[in-house]
Amino acid sequence: MSRKREEPTINFPEDPFRIGYICGLIDGEGCFNVTIFRSKKGPVCGFTVCPQFMIHITEKDRKILDFIQNTLNTGLVRFSTGNYGRLVKKLRNQDGFKYRITKVNDCLKLVEFLDGKLIVKQRDLTLWKKILKIIKEGKHLTKEGILEIAKIRDGMNNPSKSRKYKSYDWFTNFFSQY
């Protein structure tokens, strides 16, 4: 007999201190991202789209991530080695923990909770929300949807930084040859 898996629900805190603390930490340390990666099971030319929200912090501050996970009732806290590369320069060569949310419905609930409460990362949240909408509508299962997501993603997380390539350009080139 199979059991139906219950979907976790995000508990939105009512305490203004908790709301402010979580939003402040996310504004300073959070990362809204979407990964488009090669996968044998990928529905579009072998690509899979995966949204994710992450916070990386040092090992001594794990209780903060546990607090967020318990407050929101979603996401996972995992140990992460210090090999962050360019992603998190301040944590390079330090072991730590990362909090991640990857389920689309939970990501959408996080957006609902955070929308309008961020200062620094509100722009990234708004762009991430557009990507989540594309995924929720199933458009990420098409070449056009992946291109749209790649174009939006290029504008996220400090787009003024010089990058070796833009995702949109790479996928446009790839799909033109496919």
Closest CA to 26 of 13, 9, 8: 13
Question: Can you give the pLDDT of all 178 residues of the chain as single tens digits?
Answer: 445 545 555 666 678 888 899 999 999 999 999 999 988 887 778 899 999 999 999 888 999 999 999 988 899 999 987 655 444 455 456 778 999 999 999 999 999 999 999 999 999 999 999 999 999 999 999 999 999 999 999 999 877 665 667 889 989 988 888 7
* Ordered domains of the chain (ranges, CATH): 16-177 (3.10.28.10)
* Residue 86: per-residue pLDDT: 47
Sign of CA dihedral 116, 117, 119, 125: negative
* Residue 45: per-residue pLDDT: 80
* Residue 18: per-residue pLDDT: 87
H/E run at residue 66: helix 62-72
Beta-carbon contacts of residue 22 (< 8 Å; ≥ 6 apart): 13, 68, 71, 72
Count the neighbouring beta carbons within 10 Å of the beta carbon of residue 54: 18
User: What would you report as the CA-atom Rg of the chain, rounded to the nearest whole angstrom?
Assistant: 17
| Residue 5, token pair as written in the block | 């898996």
Q: DSSP states of 127-152 as a string?
A: HHHHHHHHHHTTGGGSHHHHHHHHHH
- Size of the chain, expressed as the number of residues it contains: 178
* Residue 12: per-residue pLDDT: 66
